[in-house]
Structure 1
Amino acid sequence: MSCTLFIAGDSTAALKGASEKPMTGWGEYLQGYFGPSVQVDNRAVNGRSTKSFLAEGRLAAIEKDLQAGDYLFIQFGHNDGKQEDPARYADPERDYPGNLQRFIACARRAGAAPVLLTSVSRRRFLEDGAPDPLAVGAYPEVMRQVAAETNTPLLDIFAASQQLYGALGQEGSRHLFMHLPERAHPNYPDGISDDTHFSDVGARQIARLVAQAIKQCDALQQLRSHLIGSAEAVLPGGEVRPL
């Protein structure tokens, strides 16, 4: 039985145009972990929060296409925390939980399965060399709470990405993100130093973490049956490892 997996999210997951490359969203590589029975439809958009995604009618557009048996992956948080921007800011204690519940309700109305993904972590380390547990503020923990309260499957990508960064270390994790010197790429003539957005290698790594989380989630048995067991990921150092 075939189905569509929709991604609602921000720039960390979104498709990137030619003018943005080599910046890459993890959603660009998720299809590679599924056979033709699952079609990934990536609706994530740069700069969006739960609030602006809803206000712009983007969830409503997804709802028109959702069918019974589909999946709605929901990952936000990075832009919800922008207090300086009223169009995007969603208070983590009040607005953010309510917004997430609207996404969940939308999927369930259509007979689709909502899946919450905690925000993928920024590359931010503490003085002791550990990844900063507040790299995306309170939003990952709030999403965990909403998942528990609404009985919604949760993929803890924040925890998984922090584990990856911690294993690689502060310098070793640098290549996962957009760090380019001046004149290294025509799209970034002045260079770039960005610890939120992923390089192509980083996007591949995060997509692999998402696929692993699906495989480990008992609540997603139907979806994980569609995973391609031989899907491979290239790890730091060139090692190739199957899912």
Structure 2
Amino acid sequence: MPTIFIAGDSTAAKKADDCRPETGWGEKIAPFFQQRIQIENHAVNGRSTKSFIEEKRLETIKNRLAPGDYLFIQFGHNDQKIEDETRGTLPYGSYLNYLTQYIEAAKEKNACPVLLTSISRRDYLSDGTLNPDTLGEYPQAMKQLAQRQDVVLLDLFEKTQNWLKTFPPADTVKFFLHGQPNELPFYPAGVTDNTHLNENGATEIAKLIAQAIRESSLPLKHYLQDI
């Protein structure tokens, strides 16, 4: 049976106990598949396409990939930090060059690369509308690469933007890492984080990913549970 390998950043990563209720969508994706599917979540907080590779994390995944496996590739949030030489990439330059290395790694092992645009931040403009540019040009750059490389793309940025727009801005707090002082044990001073998800948000994002897979041409969709 195939294994899904996840290469990504904090929005997908497994969290330490002392960071809860912060949760990555990679922790919540397994229940949407039949039990025959294995998930290996290699996503790590704070990583970009560049730093993930330079820390040999892609090499680790490549050594474990087998024919018929899937490599889910989701980066963008930390690639935006272009002032940080260890992580920052340019959307139509080094970002695409690094993404291509993930695609090639999967193909070399006869595995299937899948590009996922990054999930939206909870970022509202002064008029109360969701910021369509909160991730800059990175989602569009990834979409163009997917087309050139003939790789399946799951447009999570579009899906999460459309999903968040179905709620009043105040209501979307319930999906992110927010808490008042003394409300959350590991955040006694309180926390306002509009990038990272809580358990509820991670589950909802995992559901959106399952929907995107079902709508795609991936044979993986036949392993989804009926939801």
Alpha-carbon deviation of 1:169?
2.2
1:92 matched to 2:52: no
Question: How far, CA to CA, are the matches of 1:93 and 1:4 in structure 2?
Answer: 30
Alpha-carbon deviation of 1:112?
0.2
SS at match of 1:7: strand
Question: How far, CA to CA, are the matches of 2:128 and 2:186 in structure 1?
Answer: 32
Q: Which residue of 2 aligns with 1:184?
A: 183
Q: Which residue of 1 aligns with 2:81?
A: 82
Q: Which residue of 1 aligns with 2:70?
A: 71
TM-score (norm 2): 0.98
Alpha-carbon deviation of 1:56?
0.3
Q: Which residue of 2 aligns with 1:104?
A: 103
Question: How far, CA to CA, are the matches of 1:62 and 1:101 in structure 2?
Answer: 15
Query: Which amino acid in 2 is paired with 1:137?
Result: G
Question: How far, CA to CA, are the matches of 2:185 and 2:6 in structure 1?
Answer: 30
Question: How far, CA to CA, are the matches of 1:100 and 1:225 in structure 2?
Answer: 26
1:45 matched to 2:44: yes
Alpha-carbon deviation of 1:9?
0.1
Question: How far, CA to CA, are the matches of 1:98 and 1:45 in structure 2?
Answer: 20
CA RMSD of aligned residues (A): 0.8
SS at match of 1:114: strand
Identity %: 45
Alpha-carbon deviation of 1:14?
0.2
Question: How far, CA to CA, are the matches of 2:85 and 2:41 in structure 1?
Answer: 26
Mapping 1:204-215, distance limit 5 Å: 204-215=203-214
User: Pick from 225, 228, 231: which aligns with 2:225?
Assistant: 228
Q: Which residue of 2 aligns with 1:237?
A: none
CA-to-aligned-CA distance 1:121-140 (integer Å, 9 cap, x gap): 00112233321111111111
Alpha-carbon deviation of 1:186?
1.6
CA-to-aligned-CA distance 1:73-109 (integer Å, 9 cap, x gap): 0000000011221000011121001111100000000
Q: Which residue of 2 aligns with 1:139?
A: 138
Name structure 1 gaps, 5 residues minimum.
Answer: 230-242
Question: How far, CA to CA, are the matches of 1:7 and 1:131 in structure 2?
Answer: 27
Name structure 2 gaps, 5 residues minimum.
Answer: none
Q: Which residue of 2 aligns with 1:154?
A: 153
Q: Which residue of 1 aligns with 2:2?
A: 3
Q: Which residue of 1 aligns with 2:115?
A: 116
Q: Which residue of 2 aligns with 1:234?
A: none
TM-score (norm 1): 0.92
CA-to-aligned-CA distance 1:124-163 (integer Å, 9 cap, x gap): 1223332111111111111101100100000000000001
Q: Which has the higher contact order (CA 8 A, sep 6+)?
A: 2
